[in-house]
Amino acid sequence: MRKTSTRLADGRELIYFDDREPYLSGAATREVPDTRALPARDTVSEIRLDVLTGEYVAIAAHRMNRTYMPPAEENPLAPSRPGEPPTEIPAADYDVVVFENRFPTFSGGNGRCEVVCFTSDPTGSFATLSERRARTVIEAWADRTAELSALPATRQVVPFENRGEEIGVTLTHPHGQIYAYPYLPPRTQALVRRAREHFEETGRSLLADVLAAEREAGERMVLGGQAWSAYVPRAAKWPLEVHLAPHRDVPDLTALTDAERAELAVLYLELLRRVDRFFPGVARTPYIAAWHQAPVGADRELGRLHLQLFSLMRAPGRMKFLAGSESAMGAWINDTTPELIARRLRAVAS
């Protein structure tokens, strides 16, 4: 993989991650300028504390008018090709690209938000990537995790993907995002608290013990390899939920070995293909996939890398909407069982 960093017309950083020639060897370089006349960035956001819950809320009013479901000919994540309007990516083709979000949740030094384009093909998906391209995305995630973790305000780096109009995706081009949070999100705060309690009681890692228990029980296991295992959590909240975790104690993607990254590319693609076959008659299952990584700084030793993937779909054409009990009170109800979810994910193996 070859990394090339440049700037867009309004000063935002854009990074190419190439895995094909002539760019991989450096025989050709990424020197295509962004010729758009972009307005100056006006993306000031702030972080406010909800004193009733102790949770932070990002106030980012500039996101109200962000791009929403543009026609195919105005796809901002497509390459900039001759005869077509220029896009966010100046090059006429690309492998993987990361750039600063034009409509970020965090700005002004309070965190950072980046977009990750998995492929230049607007009709593809992560599940249709080759193993080589999936590995390039993993390398990009690891690279950005290292860079963003070094920013003074960062407390946690989270790469994630939202897929499907059903869950509110506003751009259909295959892509994800990376958030460098300036605070620990509520789920991480809860996980850190529970991990600390578990360590004080047992001297062991909570997430490592959960993985070991699931591998031993086997009932909710989905797939496994030499370095990774996927399982449905015992108290899954969603109609389709699965976690993917390394066998070794690893804080984040940056700490993975070459062998662990190689196997991840294979197993993650297999997992995504099973997710797409989960619901009969549904070609592409809508989902959210988020990489939970250890906090940066304090409490880092209590975190452990793992993926949480879930879908809001509960049946073909039917979504799980969070109504009163869940939205207002945070009291979850699952309409299926984790054991049935795991059984289905095993049944649709390649």
Q: Residues with catalytic annotation?
A: 175
* CA separation for the pair 127, 271 (Å, rounded): 8
User: Helices 206-217 and 186-202, interaxial angle, to 10°?
Assistant: 80
Whole-Å CA distances, 251 to 2, 140, 157, 199, 302: 25, 17, 11, 16, 9
Query: What's the start-to-end Cα distance of the chain, in Å?
Result: 28
Q: List, in order, residues 6 or more apart from 16 with CB less than 8 Å away.
A: 2, 3, 4, 5, 6, 23, 30, 91, 94, 95, 96, 97
